[in-house]
Amino acid sequence: MSRRPALAALLAVALLAAAGARAGAESLVTSLSTHYVRITANFTGADLVLFGAIERDARTVARRGGYDVVVTVMGPRQTFVTRRKERVFGIWMNVESRTFIDAPSYLAVLANRELTDIASIATLRRLQSGLDQILLPQVIAGDIGDVALDDPLRSAYLRIKRDQGLYREAPNAVTFLTPTLFRSAIPLPDNVPTGVYEVDVKLFADGALLARQTSALEVVKSGFEQFVFTAAHDYGLLYGLATAMMALLTGWLASIVFRKD
Amino acid sequence: MQIYLPIAEIPVNVFLVLFMGIAVGFISGMFGIGGGFLMTPLLIFIGISPAVAVASVASHIAASSFSGALAYWRRRALDLALALMLLAGGIVGTLAGVWLFSLLRALGQLDLMIGLSYVLLLGAVGTMMIVESTRAILRARKGRPVEIRRPGSHTWIHGLPFKLRFKTSRIYVSVIPVWAIGFAIGFIGAIMGIGGGFLLVPALIYLMRVPTGVVVGTSMVLTLVTMASATVMHAVSNHLVDAVLALILMVGGVIGAQFGARAGQRIRGERLRLLLGLLVLAVGLRFAYDLVIQPTDIYTVRIIEKQE
C-alpha cells in the first residue's frame, strides 16, 4: 500500500472534522485509505489504513478515562461446515458436523486495548464486538442458534479461521495519534474472499458506546483475473471448450517441439 | 514468482506448480496413466480446494495424454480400434458413476468412501502387479526366456462370443469383456475423480493379454477423450476449472510426458510393470496412513459451495 492514499485519507478526516457536527455529544469521522481493493495476478494481500477523528465541541463533557475505539471489519457472509473426526474401527472418520450459517468469511476486530477493559461483556455481546462476543448462528438439531463459548466445534471453527489469517482479534491494532485522532491498519491476507466488506468503527468512553460509524470497502478481481472469472461463470460451455482446446494445443505443440525424427 | 489464480482464489508459486506438472507428466508419459491420483492430492496439499483441483487436473491430464498419445502414434504403438471399443463402455460407465457419486454425496461420508476405495483399489492392483512382474523378472534372470504369450493361456474370457480381431494388439477377443472393462474404468473414474489409467493398464495386460507396449498408447487415447470431456462437463456444471492453473500444469505436464514416454520405451515391460505396481501401492499406503494415523487436527472447516 503506497503512502499517498493513506495521506489522502488523513487529510479527508482533518477536513471533515473541521466542518463540525451536532453539539454536545462526540461524533466520529473516519476515512479508509481505499474503498476498492483490486486483486490482480500478483496479489499477495493488502494492508489498508483507517484514519478516524473524534469530534468534540465546547459543550462536550470531559472524559477522564480517555477514548477507546473498536474497529470491526466483516467480509461477505458464507456458510461453513465444521467437522470432527474420531477413530471408528481403527479408521479416522467424521463423526460430528455443525453448519455455521451466514458466518463472516473475514472478521477483524481491532482495538486500542483489551476489549474486556473497554466495555463490559454484556455491552460487547450486545454490540457483537470481539470473536468471543459475535453471534455465530449454527444448525443444531434442526434449529438455528448459537452455543456456549466453550463448545468444541465453535472454538475449533474460530481457531481454524484464525490460523487461515481470516479471523483476528488485535487489542493493539488501533493507535491514538492525538487524544482525538487515531489510525488502524486492516490487514487483508492473500486468501481474502471477494465481495463487499463492512467497516464498523465504534467509539467508547467509560465502558459506554458514544458513537458509531460504518463504511464499506470492496474486494474485487480486476483485469485478466476478472476476465477469466466472468468467462468461467457466464460462458461455462465456451470456457470449457476453450480450456480443452488449449489442452490439445499444448499437447500437440509439445509433441512437435520434442519430435526427434 | 507468485501468481494469483482467478478461480482457485489463492496465489501460488508458478515454478512449484510447473515442477509438479513436469514430475507428474513424466510418470504419466512413462506408464500411460493420467496421473490424476497423484496430481489431485498434490494440489490439495498446496492449498487448492479439492473441487477446483479435481476439475482443473482433468484438462492437465488431457494435455499430457494427448502429447503422449501422439508420440505413441508415431511409433504405431497404439490400438485405435481397441481404444474406441473401450470408450463405448467407458461413456456408459461414467454416466452411471456420476449418478452414484451424487447419491453417495447426499448420504454423507463421501470423503471416507473415496479414501477407502483408494486404499482397497490401489493396494490390490499394486500388490498384484508387483507379484506378477517380480515373477517375470525372476524367470528372465534364471535364463528362461521371458514368456511371451502361450497359446494355451486362454481363459474363459476368450471363450465369449462376438469376437473381434484387434490387429495392432495382436489379439482376437470378444467385445463383451472390452466393453465391461471400459464400463468399470468409467464408473470407478467418475466416483474417485481419476482417469483410471492405472486400472486400465493392468486390466488390458492381465485380462486381455495386450502387449505392454501397445497398452500404454491405447490407454492414453482413452484418458485423453474422457478427460477432455470431463473438463467441459466440469466447466459447464460447476464453473470450477481454473484455466490459469491448468495452463501451468499443462506446460509442465507435456514436457514431462515427452521425456517419460521415451524413458518408458527404454525400460523392459516387466520392469515397467514393477515400477508402476510400486507407485500404485505407495499411493494406496499413503491413503491408508491418512485413514489410520491420528490427524494433526481432528477438526476441519469447509465452505459449503453455493448451489446454483
Q: Note down pLDDT in tens along chain B; length 308 residues.
A: 788 888 888 888 999 999 999 999 888 878 777 777 788 888 888 888 777 887 888 888 888 888 878 878 888 778 888 888 888 888 888 778 777 776 776 665 666 777 788 788 888 888 988 998 888 888 888 776 555 554 445 566 666 667 777 777 677 777 788 888 888 888 877 776 676 777 888 788 878 778 877 888 888 888 888 888 778 877 877 777 888 999 999 999 888 888 887 888 788 878 888 888 898 898 888 888 888 888 788 888 877 755 43
A9, A21: one domain: yes
pLDDT for the residue numbered A60: 76
A209, A230: one domain: no
A174, A159: one domain: yes
pLDDT for the residue numbered B78: 80
Average pLDDT of chain A to the nearest whole number: 85
Residues of A in contact with B57 (CB under 8 A): none
Count structural domains, chain A: 2
Joined grid coordinates for residue A241 = 471448450
Contact A78 B292 (CB under 8 A): no
Interface test with B, best of A84, A138, A191, A250 (most B CBs within 10 A): A250
pLDDT of residue A99 exceeding 60, the answer is yes
Q: Does A148 touch chain B (CB under 8 A)?
A: no
Helix (H) or strand (E) holding A72: strand A67-74
First to last CA, chain B: 34
* Alpha carbons B233 and B239: distance in angstroms, whole number: 9
pLDDT single digits (tens) A155-173: 999 999 999 889 999 999 9
In the beta sheet, which residues pair with residue A211? A203
pLDDT for the residue numbered B307: 40
pLDDT for the residue numbered B306: 52
pLDDT single digits (tens) A127-137: 888 888 888 88
pLDDT single digits (tens) A48-70: 999 999 988 777 777 777 899 99
pLDDT of residue A10 exceeding 80, the answer is no
A142, A44: one domain: yes
Residues of A in contact with B64 (CB under 8 A): 251
A129, A228: one domain: no
Are B78 and B66 a contacting pair, CB within 8 Å?
no
Interface test with B, best of A138, A243, A246, A252 (most B CBs within 10 A): A243
Are A197 and A73 a contacting pair, CB within 8 Å?
yes
The nearest CA of chain B is from the CA of A49 a distance in Å of: 23
Q: Does A190 touch chain B (CB under 8 A)?
A: yes
* Alpha carbons A116 and A171: distance in angstroms, whole number: 10
A115, A242: one domain: no
Handedness of CA B188, B190, B191, B195 (dihedral sign): positive
A31, A49: one domain: yes
A27, A150: one domain: yes
Q: What was the ipTM of the complex prediction? A: 0.76
Q: State the count of interchain CB pairs (< 8 A) between A and B.
A: 190
pLDDT single digits (tens) A193-218: 889 999 999 999 888 898 899 999 99
pLDDT single digits (tens) A101-123: 889 999 999 999 998 899 998 89
First to last CA, chain A: 54
Reduced to 3 states (helix: H, G, I; strand: E, B; else coil), residue B254 is helix
Please give the DSSP secondary-structure letter assigned to residue B157. G
Q: DSSP string of B46-105?
A: TT--HHHHHHHHHHHHHHHHHHHHHHHHHTT---HHHHHHHHHHHHHHHHHHHHHHHHHH
CA-wise closest residue to A249 among B40, B19, B243: B243
Joined grid coordinates for residue A256 = 512437435
Give the domain range for residue A248: 222-261
A110, A174: one domain: yes
Are B279 and B27 a contacting pair, CB within 8 Å?
yes
The nearest CA of chain B is from the CA of A240 a distance in Å of: 4
pLDDT of residue A71 exceeding 60, the answer is yes
Q: How far is CA B52 from the centre of its chain?
A: 18
Reduced to 3 states (helix: H, G, I; strand: E, B; else coil), residue A242 is helix
A190, A258: one domain: no
Q: Is the pTM of this model over 0.95?
A: no
Helix (H) or strand (E) holding B276: helix B269-292
Are A86 and A92 a contacting pair, CB within 8 Å?
yes
Please enumerate in sequence order all residues whose Cβ is within 8 A of that of B199, keeping only pairs 6 or more positions apart, or say none.
B121, B125, B184, B185, B188
A239, A172: one domain: no
In terms of Cβ atoms closer than 10 Å to its own Cβ (0-12, 13-18, 19+), residue A53 is buried
Tell me the C-alpha to C-alpha distance, in Å, between residue B238 and each of A105, B60, B95, B242, B308: 21, 18, 17, 11, 8
Percent of chain A exceeding pLDDT 90 equals 29
Report residue A111: phi and psi, to 5°.
-145, 170
List the A67-74 sheet strands across, edge first.
Answer: A36-39, A208-221, A195-205, A67-74, A107-111, A167-170
* Furthest-apart CA atoms within chain A: distance in Å: 92
* Alpha carbons B56 and B54: distance in angstroms, whole number: 6
CATH number at residue A85: 2.60.40.3880
A210, A142: one domain: yes
pLDDT of residue A2 exceeding 60, the answer is no
